[in-house]
Amino acid sequence: MPLRSRLGVGPGAGSESDPATLPAERPNNDDDVTFAPPPYDPQADLRWLLLRPWILVSRLLVVLWQLGTLALVLVSQSRSRDPRLQKRLARRILTTLSGLGPCFIKVGQALSTRPDLVRRDWLEELTRLQDDLPPFDHAIALKVIEEELGTPAESLFDEFPDYPMAAASLGQVYKARLADGRFVAVKVQRPNLPFILRRDMAIIRALGVIGAPFLPLNLGFGLGDIIDEFGRSLFAEIDYYKEADNAEYFAQLFAHHPEVTVPRVERSLSRRRVLTTQWIHGVKLQSRRELEAHHLDPAALIRTGVVAGLRQLLEFGYFHADPHPGNLFALSGRTGDLGHMAYVDFGMMDSISDKDRLTLTGAVVHLINRDFEALALDFRRLGFLNPTADLKPIVPALREVLGGALGENVGAFNFKAITDRFSELMYDYPFRVPARFALIIRAVVSQEGLAMRLDPSFRIIRVAYPYVARRLLAGDTAEMREKLLEVLFDASGRLRIERLENLLAVVEGEGAQVDLLPVARDGLRLLFGKEGSGLRQRLLLTLVRDDRLHIEDLQALVGLMGRTFSPARLAGDWLARLNPLASQAS
C-alpha cells in the first residue's frame, strides 16, 4: 500500500482513515480520553446550527456587526496618508479578526503574506496573526496536557514554562525540556475548537453562498465549494494525530534533501490535542533585515522555499498548504545555492493526483515554449475549462495574457498579476476554479507573497522555469521522459529543435546559476542509457522520413549541443564550481 494512503494523509483522508491503519509508532492510547473531532460536513453542520437558533442568531449578529463596522471604517479612512491613522486601522483589522476567532484568523494569515494585496503599513500588524495572538489560560493548557497524556506536565518534562513561546489560531506552543536535555515544542490545542469551527464555518459558508452573486468575483465555480475545501483542511488541523502523521510523511519525502528540515515527532508525548516535536532553533522568515543580522542569505532561502514548494507539487504530489512566515524558519548552512530552512505546523496539508501533477508540469513546459494551444488543453484537463468549451477563442486570449506578461524576460512574470488578469478573462471566457485547486493556489500565492516580502523584485517563475527545464532534460522518471518526447517531437515525428533550445536557454539564463555540467551529464546518461531507448528511437525516425534521409535536424542538434556544451564553457563551469569566489570576481 502506498505510504500516503497508509498514513491517511491528503485531502479527505481524515474522514476515512481508521486508527488501525495509522503508523505503528502511535502509542497504545488506553488513557486517551478524547474522541476524534467530527469530519467537516457543511450540510449536517448547517442543520445542526439551524436547530440551535440561539447560537446562530447571537453569533451571526456578532460577525455581521464586527465585519460591517470594520468595512465602513476602512472604506472611509483607508485613503488617508496619515501614518498614525493607518497604524490604528491595521490594529483595528488585527483585533477584529483575532476577536472573531480561528476561522477569521486564518483569513488574516493568508492576507499577511500578500504585500501586493495589503498595504505595507498594515502587514506588520497582520503578521502577528501567525503566532503572536493572545494565549489562552495556562491552567487550561496544563489540564489539557494531563487529560491527554494521563500525567501532569511537571512529571513528563524536566522543565515546563509558565507561559507559551507563541500562540496561534488553533493552539499555543511551549518550549519544554526533556530529562535527556533536549528541548521540544509542546503544542496544546485551544479549548472547545470543534464547536467553534463547526459554528463559524457554517455561518461563513452560508454568508458566502448568499453573498456570492453580489460580490465582484467570477470564479466560474461555486464559492461554497472553495469554502468547503478550506473547511475540510481546517477540521483536519485539529486532530494532532493526523498532524503527526503528516510531519513524519513530509520528513520522509525530504529525507535526501539536507536543505529542508522537518522536526521529529515525539510520539510518546503526543495525543489528539497535544503534539510534541523537536524544537527548531531558527529565524522566522519574516524580515530581510533580521535574516541579514543573523548572517543568512535571503536570496538563497527564497530559492529553497520555491524549489521545495515545486518539489512538493510537481514531484511528491503532497504539499504544505500553509507556508506563511510563522511556519518557516531559516537555519544556518547551505547546500549549493540553496539555504537551509525548516517547516513546522503540518496541520494544513493536501495532495494532488498524479494526473494533475503531470499536467501541471506540462503546463509549465508549454508556457516556456509559448505553446498556447497545448496550454489551453492543459487547462481543460485540469478542470479550469469545461470539457466542451471551444478552445479557438481561448487560445488568443491566453497568448495575450500570458505572452504579454512573460514578454522577452521570464523574470517579468508575476503570479498575482496573472491571476488578476484571469479573473478578468472569466467574465468573457468559460474559465472556472476547480475546488481541488483552492489550497494549491493558496499555497503558491502565499509562497510568492512570502518571497516578495523578503525581496520585492522576486519573481517565482525565475526559479520555477529552470527547475522544470532541468527535470525535463534529465528525464529522471518515466513520466518526465514521456513529457520530454512530447515536447521535442511534433505529431509527424520531426524534431522541434527550437524547443530544446528554449529549455537549454532557461537553464542557463534568467538569473539562474549556470550549471551546465549536471545538465550535460544527465543528458548523456539519458541518451545512451537504457531509459533513453524511446528517445534514440524517435531520433532515428526523425532522420528517416518519407523514405528519405533527413540530416538537417541532426545538423541543427549537433550545432546546438556544440554551442551549449563547448569544452571551454564546461571547463569554465567546472572551475566555477571548484572556486565560486573566482567566478564572482571575474
- The catalytic site residues sit at 322
Rounded distance, CA 53 to CA 50, Å? 6
Handedness of CA 13, 14, 18, 19 (dihedral sign): positive
Rounded distance, CA 31 to CA 122, Å? 46
Among 308, 347, 306, which residue's Cα sits nearest to residue 326? 347
Q: Write 219-225 long-range contacts (CB < 8 A, 24+).
A: 219/426, 219/432, 219/433, 220/426, 220/430, 220/431, 220/432, 220/433, 221/432, 221/433, 221/434, 221/435, 222/435, 224/42, 225/435, 225/438
User: Any bridge partners for residue 183, and if so which?
Assistant: 177
Rounded distance, CA 236 to CA 194, Å? 10
Instruction: List, in sequence order, every beta strand (DSSP E) within 358-410.
Output: none
The kind and range of the H/E element at 172 are: strand 171-177
Rounded distance, CA 557 to CA 245, Å? 48
188, 90 in Cβ contact below 8 A?
no
Handedness of CA 463, 468, 471, 473 (dihedral sign): negative
DSSP for 515-552 reads -HHHHHHHHHHHHHSGGGHHHHHHHHHHHEETTEE--H
130, 112 in Cβ contact below 8 A?
yes
Q: What is the DSSP letter of 240?
A: H
Pairing of strands 274-278, 183-189: antiparallel
